[in-house]
Chain A
Amino acid sequence: MRLLRNPLAQFLGAGILIIVVAMLAVLRLSDTAAQEEAIDDAVATTELLAESVAEPAIPRGLVDGDPGAIDRFDRAVSERLLVGDVQRIKIWNKDGRIVYSDETELINQTFAFGGEELAVLTAGGHDAEQSDLAKPENQFERSSGGLLEVYTRIWSPEGVPLLFEVYYSAEDIEDRKARVFSAFRPITLGGMTALVVAAVPLLWVLTRRLDRTARDRERLLRSAVDASLAERRRIARDLHDTVVQDLAGTAFALSASARDGGAARDELDRMGRSVRSSLRSLRSLLVEILPPNLATSGLHAALEDLVATAANRGVIVEVEADDLEGVDNNTAGLVWRVAQEAVRNTLRHAEAEHLHVRVTTAGPTVLLEVIDDGRGFDPNEAGDRTHFGLRGMESLIHDAGGHLEVTSAPGQGTRVRLQLEAR
């Protein structure tokens, strides 16, 4: 079953099937071509025998059944008419009487004419058909394997039209069919087999490549699922460590104030700050979960939301952002994602005191800089995972024709610089 799903096995099966079908088609075409060729040859031979041998030798009296005329004609031409694969000769008059045949018992016997024979006898020309050996006029041909009969019109010296009929062996058609088929065979069978043989290694390589790609895609999907799960955990953890804690504290304080008969003014002010801080954390989290619509809310507002939690961590943040009007959504989205990743790295790992996010435009060029004064890191250190997300974006940035530069050193802070050409 697994073998049947293999593309290579499927190709080989289809290839063999096509070859078989093609061979059958060629056999059929050979049959038709050979039959047509044999009929054409038989017609040409009949016309030649009629014009060159039979008609000039017909003596007066033959049409009337004169025995002497029949003898003379028989002696003169019977051997010259029975050439090649000619099996029988019959000469008919318009009444259906055989005035001469090499089978002498047929002479002077009368049989019913068919429409085709009468048409040729009347209008001339020729016709050819497979002999019906059940007909009484073919009683002496029944032992043969099959005959092709061709007839044409000739004239007696008295000016009487006669039907000159020649019977050919059908074995000749079989021989011709075999010859035509053998002529086509190297082209069809050989060519198609060569094509299949040539395609098999190519398909094998492609199949392996497809398998490898499928495995890579599966691994990527699994990584995406893992990353999604990790992100949900991180969000849950962030909510638990910040907003939930702050709101819980505020709730306890409010309950305590209610018990004590009302809160002091400074106490209420502190609880208000706590709720606003929680609100900022929630908004920051929201923009992380769902990227903002930069076209409607603007990049500056989005960046402000992004760094909203920085104050809670004691980081002084400065955001500068030019209006990205005229910049396409993809470019703006990429600027946002790089900024998000860089800010996230600073807030989580840098232990910075200052964070500066700046987006400037100069003509079609969009420049993003995220600079902190944190502890920095060694960019050449293979085990460093703090900027793994940015590295993952490098291919996207490269595809967009942009350039990303991360400059850092231990104790020297970090500078992330993205340059993109707006389209």
Chain B
Amino acid sequence: MEHSRYRLAVATFATLAFVVAGTSASVANDDDVVVDGNCSKRAEYQLKASPEDGRLEIEGEVDSNRVGQTWRWKLWHNGSLTGKGTRRTKGDSGSFEVRRVIVDMAGTDWSTFKARNIRSGEICRGVVGY
């Protein structure tokens, strides 16, 4: 219970911080922490952290409304690179989504998601704490 309260406080703090920085954070489910915002040009992103069997599932989504764009992405866990790759936007919304499970370490786990459009150089960057 103490742990959940602590995490809720962190999520609240993160929401306030990103509202100030032009992004917004919200709690989708009781246990999920979601952060979204605008990228450096026209695209938007969303970053979600949710618990999964003693671990955390991190989902990063970029919505550019353009199909076929190539984006390089990276995911850091407490400042350490935990995943990276390349994706193309697709579907009606012209978006892509990456999903990674990270270990739920002691204390707050900060996940940083960064995506860069190879052609336009547009950058999306979000941080979620859980």
Contact = CB atoms under 8 A, between A and B. Distances in A.
Interface in A95-110: 103-105, 107-108
A67 B54 contact: no
A70 interface: yes
Interface in B87-109: 100-106, 109
B101 A105 contact: no
Contacts of B83: 68, 71-72
Contact of B106 (A68, A71, A108): A108
Interface string A51-89: 000000000010000111111101100000000000000
B82 A67 contact: yes
**Which of A67, A104, A105, A107 has the largest number of chain B CB atoms within 10 A?**
A67
Instruction: Name the prevailing secondary structure of the B interface residues.
Output: strand
B24 to A, nearest CB: 26
B115 to A, nearest CB: 17
B18 interface: no
A74 B103 contact: yes
Interface residues of A, number: 15
B55 interface: yes
A41 B64 CA distance: 55
B101 A67 contact: no
Contacts of A69: 80
B9 interface: no
A70 B109 CA distance: 13
A73 to B, nearest CB: 9
B106 A67 contact: no
B101 A75 contact: yes
A1 B65 CA distance: 102
A67 B54 CA distance: 15
Contact of B54 (A66, A70, A75, A105): A105
Nearest to B106: A108
Interface in B48-90: 54-55, 76-83
A104 B80 contact: no
B14 to A, nearest CB: 18
Interface residues of B, number: 18
B76 A68 contact: yes
Given A68-B82, A108-B105, A75 B100 contact: yes
Given A74-B103, A104-B105, A108-B106, A67 B55 contact: no
Given A67-B77, A67-B80, A71-B77, A107 B54 contact: no
Contacts of B79: 67
A297 B105 CA distance: 118
Nearest to B77: A67
Given A71-B100, A74-B55, A105 B82 contact: no
Contacts of A72: 82-83
Contacts of B103: 67, 70-71, 74, 104, 107
A263 B102 CA distance: 150
Contacts of A74: 55, 101-103
Contacts of A70: 103, 105
Contacts of B78: 67
Interface in A276-335: none
Contacts of A108: 105-106
A66 B105 contact: no
**Which of B54, B83, B105, B109 has the largest number of chain A CB atoms within 10 A?**
B105
Contacts of A103: 54
Contacts of A68: 76-77, 80-83
A104 B82 contact: no
A68 B101 CA distance: 11
Contacts of A75: 100-101
Nearest to B76: A68
Contacts of B102: 67, 71, 74
Given A61-B80, A103-B54, A105-B54, A67 B100 contact: no
Interface of B: 54-55, 76-83, 100-106, 109
28 contacts: A66-B80, A67-B79, A67-B80, A67-B103, A67-B109, A68-B80, A68-B81, A68-B82, A68-B83, A69-B80, A71-B77, A71-B82, A71-B83, A71-B102, A71-B103, A72-B83, A74-B55, A74-B102, A75-B100, A75-B101, A103-B54, A104-B103, A104-B104, A105-B54, A105-B104, A105-B106, A107-B103, A107-B106
Interface of A: 61, 66-72, 74-75, 103-105, 107-108
* Cβ-closest 6 pairs across A and B: A68-B80, A68-B82, A71-B82, A67-B77, A71-B102, A67-B78
Given A67-B109, A71-B103, A74-B55, 6 more contacts: A67-B105, A70-B103, A72-B82, A75-B101, A104-B55, A107-B106
